[in-house]
Amino acid sequence: MSTDVTVLRTPRRRRDASLLTLGLFAAIAAAMLPVLSVIAPGPWVAGAVLVTAASLGAGLVVRLSRLPAVLASVAETAVWIVLLTAIFGGGTALLGLIPTPATFASVPGLLAGASEEIRDGVAPVAAETGLSFLLVGAIGALAIVLDHVVLTARMPLLAGVGLVAVSLIPTIAIPSDVDVAGFVLLAAALLFLLRIDTRSRTTARERAGAPRLFGVSATALGVAAVAVIVAVVATPLLPQPGIRFATGGAGGIGTTINPNLELGNDLRQPRDVDVLTVTTTAPSAPYLRAVTLSSFNGSVWQPDSSDTVPVPGDGAVFDRVGVDGDITLADQTTTVTVDQLDSPWLPVPYPASAVTGLTGEWLGMPQNRTVVTRAGSTRDQVYQVQANVPRPTLEQIRARAAGGAGVDSSLTALPADVPAVIGDTAREVTANATNPYDQLAALQTWFRSSAFRYSLDAPVDAGFDGAGLDAVADFLQVRAGYCVHYASAFAVMARTLGIPSRIVIGYLPGTASGIAAQGGTEYTVSSSQLHAWPEAYFEGIGWVPFEPTNSLGVPTNFASGSNSGGGAEPSTPQQDAASPDAQPSTAPSQADRGDVDAQDGTVTAPGARPATSWVLPLVLVLALLLLAAVPAVVRVVRRRRRLSAARAGDPVAAWTALQEEVVDLGIPAPGAESPRAFTARLVAEHGADADDVGLLREALERASYAELAVDPAQGPALVAALQRVTGALATRTTTARRITARVLPRSLVVRPGAVDVADEREPVA
């Protein structure tokens, strides 16, 4: 009878192992589908499929061959290394497959290339060699780990948690709609894994009485159906989240717009990329605004979040600019083509009245004439903007008051603890001005004088890389910083004078490309032209931009109407100076941005030194060695704890220690086997001493049935018997098995009683 059961169970074990491997491959593939929204499909996909399938297949072959389960992970790792070598290191490998020291030496370079691609790329990134190596290697390594978790440790639920977390990473990185197909496939694959694992753990008698529906219990099928319906159908019906702000810094160089005035990391990136092109009918390239910040609490400027209106099909999202009747308005048309910019904030000239050509759902903020999306992106957008630009004369703007009855009081609000140096300096610089415009012009001239210096590094060295009151006070003392410091200092000082002010984030005017374009002159805007500047409000004119940043942009100046009979064209941040030779540089100097390598144009920070080439490989090797030692250390701690409890007279601890040693040595320890049958098998098949195992078994039985749990007097005898039994068992195994039991103890993941342990060495008969 037992032979018949063995014959029946062995094919079922093999079938279940094959199905679990197939289900795991499907689950990994489904979890990786959302990655395609961040990394563009390419040859790396085929490489990932090949490495994953081959690694899992190698593990399955080992299991079907009834070899120790630990060899499955070894075989999978070997296949993983060989295939990665063949794909990415063939030129340095023996026969194109066997890695050499030169192959391993190339890994840091590949990882550095992957890091650069991630830092500089815009989703969806086209994976080059470095990023492809990282993706293929990481997915293959994930498959090896999950194979161990699912088929050896028999914990498919834990694997499911990991796969769900992996599938969520791209959605968190790039907000987008739910990938329904990927979600359904992942859910189905995980349910399949759970079902096969559960079936393999139950006996035929246990399964006979359970209600069945196409091989799956009715209860499980109902729960799965409800979960999928709720996730796919009900989730989109929930209220949509508010506008999500993109963040810069680690997000990449010039690939997004940071609305929180944390532009330092973006501007300090070593590479400069083109983010968009502009074709305009304006006399010169306009500034492009994306975000306005009006609320200031003393430490942070907050982005405006006023009511929004959908951008209609005809693009007429804002009313025509309202100015006094004597102010001239110039109509301008600007076409923007976005390349490497991924942001929910749309760069537009000011003041926009209509935006056409956008794809997706976009919203306009009438309060500040900016355009934003809740879930889309500026990536690959091509759109036209109509703008009505006020052009007051010098006399007209000097005659206007700053602010007005309809201006919100928050635009002049400041905390009570403004450092005295800010207000005192503002009044000192503007002492000779008789009107708000002259006051602001005096501040602008002062900031752009030789008393200040543009620098991306000085703020970091001085410890005030920010825009709060303390940073402004320090900036006025050090007098070196970049656009954030100039804009914040100007806006705060304007408010101390009672002038409404705010800060704008966007891009400086681009550089003329020299390419003839229909509809105006074409300009190219690069990532280094990400910029912040202040604006002040004048009654009857509206918001007027100023450019206080030393050596960047074009300062605001208005021509006198008496020279041209009215309607003079001002020189403002909306317009370049008339003479190209007189135009200030729109990019930081080499001294400010770092040292440029004459051969390849790369930039290094001042004072930086190249890292020693051997440091990274050494750190990686040490980290791997420490990681490899973790299982052995954990097992030693657990073994000592068991022995300590057994020495105190705990027979359950002694019995558990015996079972764990047995599992580590690769001996079956099925949970369905009674203690008497288990000890009899240890004596008959593995050479254990009958008296010693009998002592351990009898102590366990007394604890189980006679409630004699702990007897300190028998503790030393239990420990001695345990050590003799485990020593005898170890001598009957191979040296390799004993080493594996200490270095990679299976009992950490395969508990005594697991099906895999119970069935691993059953005879085929």
Number of neighbouring beta carbons within 10 Å of residue 648: 14
Residue 10, pLDDT score:
61
Residue 382, pLDDT score:
92
pLDDT digits (tens, 9 = 90+) for 311-343: 887 778 888 788 888 989 888 899 999 988 888
pLDDT digits (tens, 9 = 90+) for 78-136: 989 888 888 888 777 787 788 888 888 888 888 888 877 776 555 567 788 888 888 88
Report how far residue 504's alpha carbon sits from residue 502's, in angstroms, rounded to the nearest whole number: 7
Contact between 588 and 454 (Cβ < 8 Å): yes
Strands 352-356 and 309-310: unpaired
Report how far residue 760's alpha carbon sits from residue 45's, in angstroms, rounded to the nearest whole number: 35
pLDDT digits (tens, 9 = 90+) for 628-683: 778 888 888 888 888 888 888 888 888 888 888 888 888 888 777 788 888 888 88
- How confident is the prediction for the chain on average, in pLDDT? 75
Report how far residue 171's alpha carbon sits from residue 652's, in angstroms, rounded to the nearest whole number: 48
Strand, helix or coil at 367?
coil
pLDDT digits (tens, 9 = 90+) for 150-188: 777 777 777 777 777 777 766 655 555 556 666 777 777
Q: Is the pTM of this model over 0.75?
A: no
Q: Is the pLDDT of residue 211 over 60?
A: no
Residue 612, pLDDT score:
44
Q: Helix-strand-coil percent breakdown of the chain, rounded to 5?
A: 50, 15, 35
pLDDT digits (tens, 9 = 90+) for 676-704: 888 888 888 888 888 888 888 888 888 77
pLDDT digits (tens, 9 = 90+) for 362-421: 888 888 889 988 777 888 899 999 998 999 999 999 999 998 777 888 889 998 889 999
pLDDT digits (tens, 9 = 90+) for 593-614: 333 333 333 333 333 333 444 5
**pLDDT classification of 13: cutoffs 50, 70, 90:** confident
Q: Domain coordinates of the chain in residue numbers?
A: 2-201, 249-597, 616-759
Find which of 194-208, 259-273, 489-503 is predicted with most confidence, using mean pLDDT.
489-503
Report how far residue 462's alpha carbon sits from residue 394's, in angstroms, rounded to the nearest whole number: 39
**pLDDT classification of 751: cutoffs 50, 70, 90:** low
Higher pLDDT, 318 or 458: 318
**pLDDT classification of 347: cutoffs 50, 70, 90:** very high
